[in-house]
Chains A and B, each alone.
Chain A
Amino acid sequence: MTAPLLEVSDLSVRFGGDVDALRGVGFALDREESLAVVGESGAGKSTLAHCIVGLIQPPEAAGSVRLNGEELIGASAATLRSVRWRLVAIALQGAPFNPVVPVIDQVAEPLREHGGLSSSRARRRADDLARESLLDPALLRRFPHQLAGGERRKATLAMALALDPAVVILDEPAAGLDPATGRELLDRVHELRRARGFSLIAISHDLPAVARLCERTIVLYAGEVAEAGPTEHVIGRPAHPYTWALVNSYPVTSTTKDLRPIRGEPPDPRAVPSGCPFHPRCTQSETICRDRHPPLERSGGRLVACHFGGLKVLLSATLVHKAFHSGSRRLDALQAVSLTVREGESVGVVGPSGSGKTTLARVIAGDLSPDRGEVILEGERLARSWRRDARALSRRVQLVRQDPWDALSPRLTVAELVREPLDIAGAGDQQRRSAVRARLESVGLPGYGTFLEARVHELSGGQLQRIALARAIAARPKLLVADEPTSMLDASEQARLLVVLRELQVEMGLGLVLVSHDLALVRKVTDRIVVLDAGRVAEEGSSAAVSGRPRSLAARRLMEAARAFAVGDERGASERASGGGTN
Chain B
Amino acid sequence: MASYVVVVFFLITLNFFLPRALPGAPISALDDPRSETYVGDESSRIAVENYYGLDRQLGDQYTTYLEDLVQGDLGTSIRFNAPVTEVLGDRLPWTLLLVGTALALATGVGMVAGVHSGWRRGRRADKGLLALFLAIDNFPVFFLASIAVFVFAVKLGVFPLSGARTPFSESSGVLAEIADVAYHLALPATVLALQFAAFQYLVMRASMVGELESDYLVLGRAKGLGDRALKYRYAARNALLPSLTVAGLQVGVAVTAAIFVETAFAYPGVGRLMFESVADRDYPVMQGCFLLLSVAVVTANFVVELAYRRLDPRTSP
**Which residues of A are at the interface with B, using a C-beta cutoff of 8 A?**
50, 53, 55, 77, 80-86, 89-90, 92-94, 96-102, 109-110, 113-114, 143, 145-146, 159
A-chain residues with CB within 8 Å of residue B233 when the two chains form the complex: 98, 101
- Give chain B nearest CB distance to A411 CB in angstroms: 71
- B223 and A109 form a contact (CB under 8 A): yes
Return 18 A-B CB contacts under 8 Å, by A number. A84-B221, A85-B222, A85-B224, A86-B224, A92-B215, A92-B219, A94-B215, A96-B215, A96-B216, A97-B219, A98-B238, A100-B237, A102-B313, A109-B223, A113-B224, A113-B225, A113-B229, A143-B313
B-chain residues with CB within 8 Å of residue A53 when the two chains form the complex: 222
Q: Which residue of B lies closest to A162 (CB)?
A: B223
- B313 and A145 form a contact (CB under 8 A): yes
Query: Does B314 make an interface contact (CB < 8 A)?
Result: yes
Q: How far is the CA of A92 from the CA of B218 in the complex (A)?
A: 9
Q: Which residue of A lies closest to B227 (CB)?
A: A77
- B224 and A96 form a contact (CB under 8 A): no
Given contacts A55-B218, A92-B218, A113-B229, contact A100 B312 (CB under 8 A): yes
- B311 and A100 form a contact (CB under 8 A): yes
Query: Does B234 make an interface contact (CB < 8 A)?
Result: yes
- Give chain B nearest CB distance to A409 CB in angstroms: 67
Query: Does B220 make an interface contact (CB < 8 A)?
Result: yes
Q: Which residue of B lies closest to A156 (CB)?
A: B219
Q: How far is the CA of A312 from the CA of B314 in the complex (A)?
A: 56
Q: How far is the CA of A82 from the CA of B226 in the complex (A)?
A: 11
A-chain residues with CB within 8 Å of residue B238 when the two chains form the complex: 98-100
- Tell which of B216, B220, B222 touches A99, judged by Cβ atoms closer than 8 Å: B216
Given contacts A80-B224, A84-B223, A114-B224, contact A97 B229 (CB under 8 A): no
B interface SS class: helix
Of listed A81, A89, A110, residue having the most chain B CB within 10 A = A81
B-chain residues with CB within 8 Å of residue A102 when the two chains form the complex: 313
A-chain residues with CB within 8 Å of residue B214 when the two chains form the complex: 96
- Tell which of B218, B225, B241, B313 touches A96, judged by Cβ atoms closer than 8 Å: B218
B-chain residues with CB within 8 Å of residue A55 when the two chains form the complex: 218, 221-222
- B216 and A90 form a contact (CB under 8 A): no
- Tell which of B215, B224, B234 touches A81, judged by Cβ atoms closer than 8 Å: B224
A-chain residues with CB within 8 Å of residue B226 when the two chains form the complex: 81
- B313 and A85 form a contact (CB under 8 A): no
B residues 195-209 touching A (CB-CB < 8 Å): none
- Tell which of A93, A101, A110, A159 touches B224, judged by Cβ atoms closer than 8 Å: A110
Q: Which residue of A lies closest to B313 (CB)?
A: A143
Q: How far is the CA of A96 from the CA of B219 in the complex (A)?
A: 7
Q: A98-B237, A102-B313, A113-B224 are in contact. List 11 more A-B contacts (CB 8 A).
A: A55-B222, A85-B222, A90-B222, A92-B222, A96-B219, A98-B219, A98-B234, A100-B312, A101-B233, A110-B224, A114-B224
Task: Return the CB mask of B61-89 against A: 1 if under 8 Å, else 0.
Answer: 00000000000000000000000000000
Q: How far is the CA of A99 from the CA of B311 in the complex (A)?
A: 10
A-chain residues with CB within 8 Å of residue B237 when the two chains form the complex: 98, 100-101
Task: Return the CB mask of B211-255 against A: 1 if under 8 Å, else 0.
Answer: 000111011111111110100011001100100000000000000
- Give chain A nearest CB distance to B110 CB in angstroms: 20
- B224 and A99 form a contact (CB under 8 A): no
Q: Which residue of B lies closest to A96 (CB)?
A: B215
- Give chain B nearest CB distance to A383 CB in angstroms: 62
Given contacts A84-B222, A86-B224, A109-B225, contact A99 B215 (CB under 8 A): no
- Give chain A nearest CB distance to B235 CB in angstroms: 10
Q: How far is the CA of A81 from the CA of B227 in the complex (A)?
A: 10
- A82 and B224 form a contact (CB under 8 A): yes
- A99 and B225 form a contact (CB under 8 A): no
Q: Which residue of A lies closest to B311 (CB)?
A: A100
Q: Which residue of B lies closest to A84 (CB)?
A: B224
B-chain residues with CB within 8 Å of residue A98 when the two chains form the complex: 216, 219-220, 233-234, 237-238
Q: How far is the CA of A121 from the CA of B241 in the complex (A)?
A: 31
B-chain residues with CB within 8 Å of residue A83 when the two chains form the complex: 224
- A100 and B223 form a contact (CB under 8 A): no
A-chain residues with CB within 8 Å of residue B220 when the two chains form the complex: 98
Q: Which residue of A lies closest to B312 (CB)?
A: A100
- Give chain B nearest CB distance to A324 CB in angstroms: 70
A-chain residues with CB within 8 Å of residue B223 when the two chains form the complex: 84-85, 89, 109-110, 113, 159
B-chain residues with CB within 8 Å of residue A86 when the two chains form the complex: 224
A-chain residues with CB within 8 Å of residue B311 when the two chains form the complex: 100
Q: How far is the CA of A534 from the CA of B224 in the complex (A)?
A: 68
Q: How far is the CA of A55 from the CA of B225 in the complex (A)?
A: 12
Q: How far is the CA of A106 from the CA of B208 in the complex (A)?
A: 20
B-chain residues with CB within 8 Å of residue A80 when the two chains form the complex: 224
B-chain residues with CB within 8 Å of residue A77 when the two chains form the complex: 227
Q: How far is the CA of A97 from the CA of B237 in the complex (A)?
A: 13
Q: How far is the CA of A98 from the CA of B229 in the complex (A)?
A: 12
- Give chain A nearest CB distance to B242 CB in angstroms: 13
Q: How far is the CA of A443 from the CA of B229 in the complex (A)?
A: 66
B-chain residues with CB within 8 Å of residue A100 when the two chains form the complex: 237-238, 241, 311-314
Q: How far is the CA of A114 from the CA of B314 in the complex (A)?
A: 29
B-chain residues with CB within 8 Å of residue A97 when the two chains form the complex: 216, 219
- Give chain A nearest CB distance to B105 CB in angstroms: 26
B-chain residues with CB within 8 Å of residue A109 when the two chains form the complex: 223, 225
- Give chain A nearest CB distance to B88 CB in angstroms: 39
- Give chain B nearest CB distance to A160 CB in angstroms: 9
Q: Which residue of A lies closest to B229 (CB)?
A: A113
- Give chain B nearest CB distance to A82 CB in angstroms: 7
A-chain residues with CB within 8 Å of residue B215 when the two chains form the complex: 92-94, 96
